[in-house]
Amino acid sequence: MEDKIQTEFEIGSILSLYNIGITAAVFYLPLLFKERGITDLQIGYLTMIYSVFLFISNTIFGKLTDIKGRRPILLTGLIFGGISIILNILPQNFEFFIILRILNGICLGITPSALIALASDKSVQMGKLSSYRALGWATGALLNGLLAEIFQLELIFVTASIIYLVGFISALKIDYNVENLSQERKIKPSYRKIIKLNWAEYLLVIMRHGSGTAIWVYWTLFLKFNLGLNNFQIGVVLAINTVTQFFLMRFISNKGNPKKQFIIGTILSGLVFFLFPFARNFIEISLMQIILGCSFAFFLVGGLRIVEERGRQNQMVGTATGLFESSMAISQIVGPIIAIIVFNKYQSFTSIMFIASLISYIGVIIYIFTSNNHN
């Protein structure tokens, strides 16, 4: 029992460190872009470019995790992820940011499936593993918000790079012995088979998370300019969401029917997206973030539990969870497209939120009907 808790902590702590860096790359880069004179429309394009290469990376390295093993993929992802993040302090123009967004997408897409597959090898519950993801987001939101408010935005990316180095050192010490992939694997990883098994789940991820990502493209700008929050308050708002996720993921979402959790999480997400435009201050948006944290905990863990279990049954956990992460990345391609189209038409951050709510509800209706036939 003690060994199992230690293993969970070792893997989970690396996932937390990884996601501290992700908060810098996702939520605070738009503020840096604004400081460098990048327009709102260009921010949408840069987010989309990042997501395209994140999708490609998740898809390729998820399968390589099943073929080459967890250790080399995990170590590669952490070291190159840290290098790609610190480079964001260098560019001064849109063209240079395009190159770095490509590098960010490739390098930051290497790690997730290797960590999830390793956790599955060690029988770590997906809810408990995901709670470390939420803990990383919460810590990153608060830490980065504090650094940005007291010092300057560039320090966020230097700190994230150092944190990735700590994760790399921690990953060197993990015991990977349980897998022995070259001796035990009898099934060649197949994208086709995994997609056939999980396409309904992947589609709902794209629709729900894609609509959410449309909001996140301009989220920090909405908080700063529409609600008048300072950088530290923005960090607190982000942290409230992820702290809520942490507790639900750790203590509740491992229990019950994962399909029902997946559906309930999407329905609640659509509700919160609809309510966001009516927020008037820090307190109201914080209360909405609690509901959003609950919704995302059920959505993420429910979906991940479904595909991880099917992947384990078919000896393709890395491929299955890699495609799950790829679906999240596709969402981050779809999201900016939605955001750009809606923002161009209405010149409003809040109009994106209403469209996101509608797409989430359409997605859950499609899933309910298709998954009944599919499963």
Residue 180 has pLDDT above 50, yes or no: no
**Chain segment 246-300, per-residue pLDDT in tens:** 888 887 767 788 999 999 999 999 999 999 999 999 999 999 999 999 999 999 9
pLDDT score at 178: 62
pLDDT score at 278: 95
Query: Can you read off the two tokens belonging to residue 21?
Result: 């860096």
Cα distance between residue 167 and residue 365, in whole Å:
40
Q: Where residue 2 falls among pLDDT bands split at 50, 70, 90? A: low
Q: Which of 33-42, 50-59, 314-323 has the lowest mean pLDDT?
A: 314-323
Cα distance between residue 174 and residue 187, in whole Å:
26
Query: Do residues 140 and 148 touch, judged by C-beta distance below 8 A?
Result: no
Residue 32 has pLDDT above 50, yes or no: yes
Q: Which residue has the higher pLDDT, 77 or 148?
A: 77
Q: CATH homologous superfamily for 2-172+196-374?
A: MFS general substrate transporter like domains (1.20.1250.20)
Q: What is the pTM of this model?
A: 0.77
Cα distance between residue 292 and residue 100, in whole Å:
31
Q: Which residue has the higher pLDDT, 338 or 47?
A: 338
**Chain segment 73-94, per-residue pLDDT in tens:** 999 999 999 999 999 888 778 9
| H or E stretch covering 356 | helix 349-374
Query: Can you read off the two tokens belonging to residue 65?
Result: 């995790």
Q: Give me the chain's average pLDDT, please.
A: 86
pLDDT score at 358: 96
Cα distance between residue 195 and residue 307, in whole Å:
10
Cα distance between residue 317 and residue 323, in whole Å:
10
Q: Where residue 187 falls among pLDDT bands split at 50, 70, 90? A: low
Q: Where residue 314 falls among pLDDT bands split at 50, 70, 90? A: confident
Q: Which of 107-116, 232-241, 293-302, 346-355 has the lowest mean pLDDT?
A: 232-241
Average pLDDT in the 216-242 region? 86
Query: Do residues 253 and 302 touch, judged by C-beta distance below 8 A?
Result: yes
Angle at the Cα of 360 (from 119 to 225), degrees rounded to 5? 95
What does 4-59 look like in DSSP terms, one character per residue? HHHHHHHHHHHHHHHHHHHHIIIIIHHHHHHHTT--HHHHHHHHHHHHHHHHHHHH
Range with the largest mean pLDDT of 63-67, 158-162, 228-232, 308-312: 158-162
Phi/psi class of residue 38: alpha, beta or left (left: φ > 0; alpha: ψ in -120 to 50)? Answer: beta
Q: Where residue 28 falls among pLDDT bands split at 50, 70, 90? A: confident
Domain spans of the chain, in order of start: 2-172+196-374
Cα distance between residue 305 and residue 284, in whole Å:
32
What does 314-334 look like in DSSP terms, one character per residue? TT-HHHHHHHHHHHHHHHHHH
Query: Do residues 126 and 44 touch, judged by C-beta distance below 8 A?
Result: no
In terms of C-beta density within 10 A (0-12 exposed, 13-18 middle, 19 or more buried), how is residue 139 classed?
buried
pLDDT score at 179: 45
Percent of the chain topping pLDDT 90:
35
